[in-house]
Amino acid sequence: MFDLGGYWNIKADPEDEGLSQSWFEDALDGDVHTIAIPGSWNEQLEEQGFKNYVGKAWHETWFTIPEVMQNNHRVWIRVGAADHRATVWVNGTYIGEHVGGYVPFEFDVTDALIEAGEPNHLVLCVDSTLSMHTLPQDVDPNSPMYDTPAYQRRHLYPATRFDFFPYGGLTRSVNLVITPREYISSISIDSALEGKVDVKVQAPVFHKLRVQVLDADSAILCESESETANEFNLKIENPRLWSPSDPYLYKARVSLYVNSVIVDEYDEEFGIREIKVEGGKVLFNNEELFLAGFGKHEEFPIIGRGQFRPAYIKDHELMRWIGANSYRTSHYPYDEEMMRLGDRLGFLIIDEVAAVSLGFWSNNFEDLKPLLDTHKQAIKELIERDRNHPSVISWSITNEPNLWAEEFYQNEAGKQYFKELYDFTKTLDSTRPVISISMAMFKEEDIVLESCDIIGINRYYGWYTKPVDLDQAAQDLANELEATFQKYGKPILITEFGADTVEGLHSTTAQMFTEEFQTAFTFKYLEVMEACDFVCGAHIWNFADFLTPQHFRRVVWHKKGTFTRDRFPKSVAFKLREHWNTFEKIKDTHRPAKPREGFLVPDIKKPIKKGVEYS
């Protein structure tokens, strides 16, 4: 695999003329800029007018392949994510199109390559435009509803249906992948606590497949092979379980034979652990689970929603420092490297599709089918990508549908929509609970709560409603939690609660936006929910401040972060650290390895050597 990241060319296409003028044929010309890939175009090229640009932009680079690699191999272009639609050409030949951001896709480009050793021209047209049939959706500018005075006050710039910045571009790595002519195309692994390991392999052509299970030291524990089957049932004796405190990973080594020779081989890591919902509780390896952590965003200064490996490590380290054991990939799938880190470092992840503030436009279920198809496809692609990660404990299939309070929601069509989605998810993966997340409007009556195993609720009593009155907020929250549990008997995760906070603002009285108010708000909520047996966790909104469209209620950034956008702690972080690191509802086995002691963490120092000459 070769990383095609680096400095590419980019040209915006606001008039949508690139296709008709065949911009994919020759090197881009005219208003062409240099852009670092991976990375969103918005902040990098702010001074060139890209800051708020939503639309098409053409990207190009060149790559060469040495002869030994090109001959007798297949060559693929793999794109980690293109937000939100990408069309690909190589040397002027149309290769394919992928719709939907945040997930990877790949194309076989072998037949479009020129002679080995010569530069190939790769062009991707990336379109960040959304619609009512995409995920996420757009606001429908043609709907008369958005012209009413009530909605005029909700308009955002750039216009979005959601509260995060609409970055566009090639946000994750673009790779050249060289495989043999015959190759393994996918591996999926299911395991159970007693050591059962089921591996399913896809390969377009094979004469024999072999699967071996290896421990972390690469010793072979068991194996199986077949000339006809592609499903293997293996067993590990006395398995070492995966948990946050001991994130132990096995490997499935899959070998593909053609004419008795191994032509392709792949190692896929997995962990043995179980997550289930029983009697209003979530059990992890048969112990009651309490999730402490955050809703996050995948975004950073300058790089936008671009792959940023050091920040991925830093974020996990900050979560370890604060005593969190989990997070949600709000409001879209994150870089798959985050899941890999979660596997290694022992974090529990709720994996979300980009179905944020879903809006329906009809009371007739049939009319909603195009959106439902997109939604199912997004769930399918997410599960295909992430199902082998032990860190992924649940699929989040929607966040706050009907946030925009459109009139078509609380009805039979809506119920059927979510029921189909839930059933569909379960057919793809029955081993993980499904979570659906509601907003406050219909409380326990919200139709989305019927179709899930874990109820997620985002609540802002004391902030968006009845601001400042935290005692009232506590009462409202307690009442709603009780009523919701009575109605469904399902565990409830508070997936969001929080207060916008400007670091450095202080007050001696209850004053929104100050650090003291954020702390008071957070701990009032924790007090209420931690007293309820059926609440399986608290995810604070948000881990860090993030960029959002412009609106009078946001001062450039969304400020509900526990950390600033550049990852410095606000005062609430220290109190949370004290609380979560000692909170008895979080079992020791459900905590990632402890951070270093103390507040002033000593640096790692080299011992001073005596007698060494000073230079």
Q: Using CB under 6 A as the criterion, which residues of the chain lie in contact with ligand GCB when the complex forms?
A: 163, 331, 399-400, 439, 458, 496, 541, 558, 560
Q: CB 135: neighbour CB atoms within 10 A?
A: 24
CB of residue 465 vs ligand GCB: minimum separation in angstroms? 12
Report yes or no: 283 and 276 within 8 Å, Cβ to Cβ.
Answer: yes
What single-letter amino acid sits at 521? Answer: F
What is the distance between the alpha carbons of residues 351 and 332, in angstroms, rounded to a whole number?
8
CB of residue 201 vs ligand GCB: minimum separation in angstroms? 38
Residues 6+ positions from 214 with CB-CB distance below 8 Å: 220, 221, 250, 251, 252, 253, 267
Tell me which residue has tokens 């509802």. 585
Helix (H/G/I), strand (E/B), else coil: 196: strand
Which residue's CB is nearer to ligand GCB, number 458 or number 484? 458
**What's the residue count for the chain?**
615
In the chain, the largest separation of any two C-alpha atoms, in whole Å, equals 84
What is the distance between the alpha carbons of residues 5 and 515, in angstroms, rounded to a whole number?
40
Helix (H/G/I), strand (E/B), else coil: 47: helix
Helix (H) or strand (E) holding 395: strand 392-399
What is the distance between the alpha carbons of residues 499 and 553, in angstroms, rounded to a whole number?
12
CB of residue 422 vs ligand GCB: minimum separation in angstroms? 20
What single-letter amino acid sits at 330? Answer: S
- Annotated catalytic residues are 400, 496
Which residue's CB is nearer to ligand GCB, number 160 or number 374? 160
CB of residue 538 vs ligand GCB: minimum separation in angstroms? 15
Helix (H) or strand (E) holding 208: strand 208-214
CB of residue 455 vs ligand GCB: minimum separation in angstroms? 15
CB of residue 432 vs ligand GCB: minimum separation in angstroms? 21
Please give, one letter per residue, the 3-state secondary structure of 104-173.
CEEEECHHHCCCCCCCEEEEEEEECCCCCCCCCCCCCCCCHHHHCHHHHCCCCECCCCCCCCCCCEECCC
What is the distance between the alpha carbons of residues 287 and 274, in angstroms, rounded to a whole number?
10
Which residue's CB is nearer to ligand GCB, number 346 or number 561? 561
8-state DSSP, 513: B
The pair of three-digit structure tokens given for residue 278, joined into one six-digit string? 């029983």
Which residue's CB is nearer to ligand GCB, number 59 or number 560? 560
